[in-house]
Amino acid sequence: MAANLKGRLARIKKLGLIKAADLGERSASETSQRSSSPSFLIGWNRRDDFLWSRVLHFPSPLSASIDPAPFAPLARKRLKAEEPGGPAATPCLPGRIDSARLRFFDLETTGLSGGTGTVAFLAAVGRIVDDGFELEQLFLEDFPGEKAFVEALLELLRDGVVVSYNGKAFDMPLLRTRCVMNAVPLPSYPHIDAFFAARRLWKRVHGGASLGLLEHEVLGMEREEDIPGSMIPDVWLDFARTGTSRLMHLVLSHNAADVVALARLVSRLQSIFDEPLSRSAKPGLDLAGLGRSLLAVGRTGEGEELLEAAAGEGDCMAALFLMRRYRIASRREDCLRIDPLLPGNYRAAVERAKLHERLLFDFTCAALWAEEALKLAPGVQEREAAERRLRRIERKTAGGKRGR
């Protein structure tokens, strides 16, 4: 830890973010508890020796309720066995959820990769109240206050449905680790992670799906003053060492802005899921991603209509997806309608070979498409698969199954 901290401080000093004189050791009395609050905490309330909080208010961006189903990842992986003393599996979320139950949640930490050495020092939890959107932040001034910080955060999340952005991969596992390190039981929270749905709807359109990118490109929000997320761990570690920081106010506002942006993004996603066909007419939306989201929750008609619209606009992935879907379901006429929209690549040749072999029973055409797949194979594995397919089709033909 010491070597890691030394390296971080050296990088900050090189960037000119702090003065060399500020890197000295604090006295024992400064370490135990600071006698005066840092300037960036003006307006905050001290809740414990090293714990501060503040409450901010914003207009509410949310409708009365949201449907959690389209937000889920498409490939649901089997839950791993829980560790001894760990939380139970995340509770299911049937039906629409009252927006007042939602707890929009984000952490700022001392590292970007997690692990037991990574500490959360700043949290924001936003929720709907009668007069709008209330956001409460918790700030950990120094390491000895971490248990109080964790307990206060769990209280803010209590009885709510956690809403995060990539929180299933980072924020919640980290919170669980900090609970274990401080002997604090972590309750099981229902959880909606907006990252999966946002990635399906906008990653291919904008070349990424980070919250900052979508905040700008999708929501049209601009921050007047901000700090890159990659700098945030160094800023707090420097503050914990020196007791001062001229950048921490940016970290605090960054954390609050992330939660406000998350609430607005969830609101935008829900409005799209509520009226997908009318919303899809607007540019800047991945129709195939939206279609697949709807198919995953059983909204077949809307999902297929959007996927066919995407295929008609030249989305090769949508056309391939539909061809496979229709072929497996033995929907012959639908396959023939999609066939002209397929691209001229290896995967399309394989799909056409499967269509003629398994659904149309035209083994002559199936063999021709298998030969085409062999020519277009991008690698050894694909070439070997095409050769096996061609040999199988030839055996069927030789066995008396004649093509039409």
Residue 390 lies in a domain: yes
Cα–Cα separations (whole angstroms), residue 77 to 74, 164, 191, 290:
9, 19, 15, 21
Residue 32 lies in a domain: no
State whether 174 and 187 are in the same domain: yes
State whether 313 and 369 are in the same domain. Answer: no
Q: How far is the C-alpha of 163 from the C-alpha of 400, rounded, in Å?
A: 60
Long-range contacts of 397-404 (CB under 8 A, 24+ apart): 397/363, 397/364, 397/367, 401/361, 401/363, 402/363, 403/361, 403/362, 403/363, 403/364, 403/365, 403/366, 404/360, 404/361, 404/362, 404/364
Q: Could you tell me if residue 213 is inside a domain? A: yes
Same domain, 144 and 212: yes
β-partners of residue 102 are 161
Per-residue pLDDT of the chain in tens (404 residues, 90 and over written 9)? 444 444 544 554 444 444 433 433 444 444 444 557 899 999 999 999 999 999 999 999 888 899 999 999 986 533 333 333 334 445 556 789 999 999 999 999 998 776 678 999 999 999 999 889 999 999 999 999 999 999 999 999 999 999 999 999 999 999 999 999 999 998 889 999 999 999 999 999 999 999 999 999 999 999 989 999 999 999 999 998 998 999 999 999 999 999 999 999 999 999 999 999 998 777 899 999 999 999 999 999 999 999 999 999 999 999 999 999 999 999 999 999 999 999 999 999 999 999 999 999 999 999 999 999 999 999 999 999 999 999 999 998 887 654 44
Residue 157 located in a structural domain: yes
Domain annotation covers residue 368? yes
Residues 378 and 283 in one domain: no
Separation of alpha carbons 49 and 99, rounded Å: 34
Q: What's the pLDDT at 401?
A: 55
DSSP 39-65: GGGTT-EEEETTEEEEEEEE-----SE
Domain assignment of residue 91, yes or no: no
Residues 252, 200 share a domain: yes
For residue 339, tell me if it sits in a domain: no
Is the same domain home to 287 and 258?
Answer: no
- Of 234, 252, 273, which one is at a domain's C-terminal end? 273
Domain that holds residue 349: 344-404
Strand order in the sheet with 132-140: 45-48, 51-58, 132-140, 120-129, 102-109, 161-164, 191-193
Residue with tokens 């910080």: 149
Domain boundary among 333, 356, 382: 333
Q: Are residue 282 and residue 395 in the same domain, yes or no?
A: no
Report if residue 102 sits inside a domain: yes
pLDDT at 77 (0 to 100) = 37
From CA 19, how far away is CA 17, in angstroms rounded?
Answer: 7
User: What pLDDT is stored for residue 81 in this prediction?
Assistant: 31
Are residues 125 and 16 both part of a single domain? yes
Do residues 197 and 169 both lie within one domain?
yes
On whether both 263 and 303 belong to a single domain, the answer is no
Question: Any idea what the CATH number is for the domain that residue 257 is in?
Answer: 3.30.420.10
> Do both 325 and 391 map to the same domain?
no
**In this structure, are 264 and 163 located in the same domain?**
yes
Report the predicted TM-score, pTM, of the whole model to 2 decimal places: 0.84
Which residue spans within 110-199 are E strands per DSSP?
A: 120-129, 132-140, 161-164, 191-193
Q: How many domains does the chain have?
A: 3
Which of 305, 333, 361 marks a domain boundary?
A: 333
